């Protein structure tokens, strides 16, 4: 099998991260259960990595840090993960979306299942598709403006140290444990829609993906096509889950590219399509995969070594916040 065919490896990495994140969720549930039970259940330490599920807290903490407040001790891991994911996007495009994000794994499994059932994934009319894609940028602009621009350093500090923010992770857990009828309907509708359309949440609604896409425009790594070797078979454009017309591009600059390698993997003409750094140096699939994983883990490790990982909230504070 060609060294460019990295899809099994990518899917393996996606599922490893998904399993790890489920494990984090279970450990966090057990921790909250212990605190709420007044210590009657077995003690499980709070997994700090759970803060990776708090990108808004990461944005708040990053804005606060950039405005001179230092990295907060309430959810420091949220800041570390947020900055790490931005760094991954800066160097390796939106590879976080196609190699790590748990939402994208579920979404990808859904549209592939839908394809098996229907033999196709319909596409929205172009105008509607473009308009809906704008929604995620509007959401991103709203969050970036209202948090990173409009809030003063003092306001950020006050909010970060509020009881509301301290419990952001517990609120998220409770949200999923006790889904309201409305939330359940929205989630089920998105899941159902994901059977037909490719990645509707990521494509139209995710403000995190929108931000990563804009950062990724600066990435030196991109899919590059050789017009001399390309035979214009169109396979790359057909397999792209974000509908980029790869066959007619010299290199893919689009913020919609999630760095999934599907186009490179499926091109049967050697050297016609490759992932290249600075437009010149071919990046082998295995190297790209190693870089994604190493950068992500390395970033979180740097946060731990730098003392910005463990929350300053102790068990007594959690008892106060979660007590009757």
- 156/85 Cα distance (integer angstroms): 22
Q: To the nearest whole angstrom, how small is the minimum distance from the Cβ of residue 196 to ligand SF4?
A: 19
Stretch that binds ligand SF4, among 56-64, 158-166, 209-217, 242-250 (CB under 6 A): 242-250
Count of residues near ligand SF4 by CB under 6 A: 27
> Could you say whether residue 261 binds ligand SF4 (CB under 6 A)?
yes
Q: What is the DSSP letter of 131?
A: H
- Which parts of 168-227 interact with ligand SF4 (CB under 6 A)? 223, 225
Q: To the nearest whole angstrom, how small is the minimum distance from the Cβ of residue 98 to ligand SF4?
A: 7
Stretch that binds ligand SF4, among 12-20, 123-131, 174-182, 234-242 (CB under 6 A): 234-242
Q: Please spell the DSSP secondary structure of 1-42, one letter per residue.
A: --TT--HHHHHHHHHHHHHHHHHHHHHHHHHHHHHHTTT-SP
> Could you say whether residue 230 binds ligand SF4 (CB under 6 A)?
yes
Cβ neighbours, 10 Å, residue 76: 26
Q: Of 59, 106, 105, which Cα lies nearest the Cα of 80?
A: 59
CB-nearer residue toward ligand SF4: 50 or 236: 236
CB-nearer residue toward ligand SF4: 75 or 225: 225
Contact 136, 103 (CB under 8 A): no
Strand-pairing partners, residue 281, are 277
Q: What is the DSSP letter of 310?
A: S
Q: What is the DSSP letter of 228?
A: T
Q: Which of 267, 289, 292, 295 binds ligand SF4 (CB under 6 A)?
A: 267
Q: To the nearest whole angstrom, how small is the minimum distance from the Cβ of residue 228 to ligand SF4?
A: 11
Cβ neighbors of 124 (< 8 A, separation 6 or more) are 132, 197
> Could you say whether residue 234 binds ligand SF4 (CB under 6 A)?
yes
Phi and psi, residue 277, nearest 5°: -95, 135
Q: Copy the structure tokens of residue 74.
A: 């309430």
> Could you say whether residue 231 binds ligand SF4 (CB under 6 A)?
yes
Q: Which of 240, 289, 292, 295 binds ligand SF4 (CB under 6 A)?
A: 240
- 292/274 Cα distance (integer angstroms): 17
Residue in the structure block whose two tokens are 């106060």? 320
Q: Which of 50, 147, 151, 273 binds ligand SF4 (CB under 6 A)?
A: 273
Q: Which of 89, 247, 292, 295 binds ligand SF4 (CB under 6 A)?
A: 247
Exposure of 135 in the CB half-sphere (CA atoms within 13 A) = 12
Stretch that binds ligand SF4, among 54-62, 108-116, 120-128, 229-237 (CB under 6 A): 229-237
Stretch that binds ligand SF4, among 5-13, 158-166, 167-175, 238-246 (CB under 6 A): 238-246
Q: Rule CB under 6 A: which residues touch ligand SF4?
A: 223, 225, 230-236, 240-242, 244, 246-247, 252, 257-263, 267, 269, 272-273
């Amino acid at each position: 099998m060609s060294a460019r065919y990295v899809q099994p490896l990518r899917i393996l990495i996606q599922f490893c991260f998904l399993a790890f994140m489920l494990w984090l969720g279970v450990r966090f549930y057990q921790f909250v259960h212990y605190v709420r039970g007044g210590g009657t259940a077995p003690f499980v330490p709070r997994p700090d990595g759970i803060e990776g599920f708090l990108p808004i807290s990461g944005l708040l903490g990053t804005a606060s840090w950039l405005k001179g407040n230092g990295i907060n001790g309430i959810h420091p891991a949220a800041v570390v993960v947020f900055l790490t994911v931005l760094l991954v996007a800066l160097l390796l495009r939106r590879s976080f979306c196609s190699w790590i994000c748990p939402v994208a794994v579920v979404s990808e499994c859904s549209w592939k299942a839908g394809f098996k059932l229907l033999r196709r994934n319909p596409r929205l009319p172009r105008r509607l598709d473009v308009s809906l894609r704008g929604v995620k940028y509007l959401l991103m602009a709203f969050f970036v403006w209202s948090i990173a621009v409009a809030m003063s350093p003092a306001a950020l500090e006050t909010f970060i140290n509020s009881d509301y923010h301290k419990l952001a992770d517990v609120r998220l857990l409770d949200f999923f444990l006790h889904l309201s009828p409305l939330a359940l309907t929205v989630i089920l509708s998105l899941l159902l829609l994901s059977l037909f359309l490719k990645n509707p949440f990521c494509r139209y609604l995710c403000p995190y993906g929108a931000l990563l896409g804009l950062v990724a425009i600066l990435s030196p790594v991109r899919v590059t096509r050789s017009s001399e070797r390309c035979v214009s078979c169109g396979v790359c454009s057909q397999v792209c889950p974000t509908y980029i017309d790869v066959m007619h591009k010299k290199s893919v600059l689009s913020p919609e590219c999630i760095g999934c390698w599907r186009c490179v993997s499926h091109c049967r003409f050697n050297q016609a399509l490759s992932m290249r750094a600075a437009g010149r140096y071919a990046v082998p699939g295995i190297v790209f995969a190693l870089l994604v994983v190493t950068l992500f883990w390395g970033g979180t490790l740097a946060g731990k070594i730098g003392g910005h990982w463990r929350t300053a909230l102790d068990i007594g504070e959690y008892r106060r916040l979660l007590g009757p």
